[in-house]
């Protein structure tokens, strides 16, 4: 079993970034999804089943951080602000 972490930040999103992914249907600044599954595709299926507002096709454009359950690791640390 692996833990998949996707994070997409649109804080500095502008018209010059037209090809930037849009991973959620809401008007977000920071989107984070952490899912435990055997594969990234399974993780995306689980996420879409639980919360259909996630845009799985766009999430496939991002490379998730992947953590194995048998290896010690910091899963998530976050600092926000200016």
Determine, yes or no, domain membership for 80.
no
Query: Count of CB atoms within 10 A of residue 23's CB?
Result: 23
User: What pLDDT score does 51 carry?
Assistant: 93
Determine, yes or no, domain membership for 81.
no
- Banded pLDDT at 13 (limits 50, 70, 90): low
User: What pLDDT score does 75 carry?
Assistant: 81
Determine, yes or no, domain membership for 51.
yes
User: What pLDDT score does 44 carry?
Assistant: 97
Number of domains forming the structure of the chain: 1
Domain span at 21? 2-68
Give the Å distances, CA to CA, from 66 to 11, 19, 25. 24, 24, 24
Helix, strand, coil percent values for the chain (each to nearest 5): 20, 25, 50
- Banded pLDDT at 69 (limits 50, 70, 90): confident
Is the separation of the CB atoms in 22 and 13 below 8 Å?
no
């Amino acid at each position: 079993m692996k833990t998949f972490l996707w994070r997409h930040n649109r804080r500095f999103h502008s018209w010059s970034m037209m090809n930037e992914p849009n991973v959620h249907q809401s008007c977000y600044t920071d989107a984070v999804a952490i899912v435990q599954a055997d594969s990234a595709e399974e993780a995306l299926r689980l996420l879409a089943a639980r919360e259909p507002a996630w845009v799985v096709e766009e999430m496939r454009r991002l490379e998730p951080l992947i953590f194995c359950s048998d290896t010690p690791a910091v899963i998530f640390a976050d600092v926000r602000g200016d």
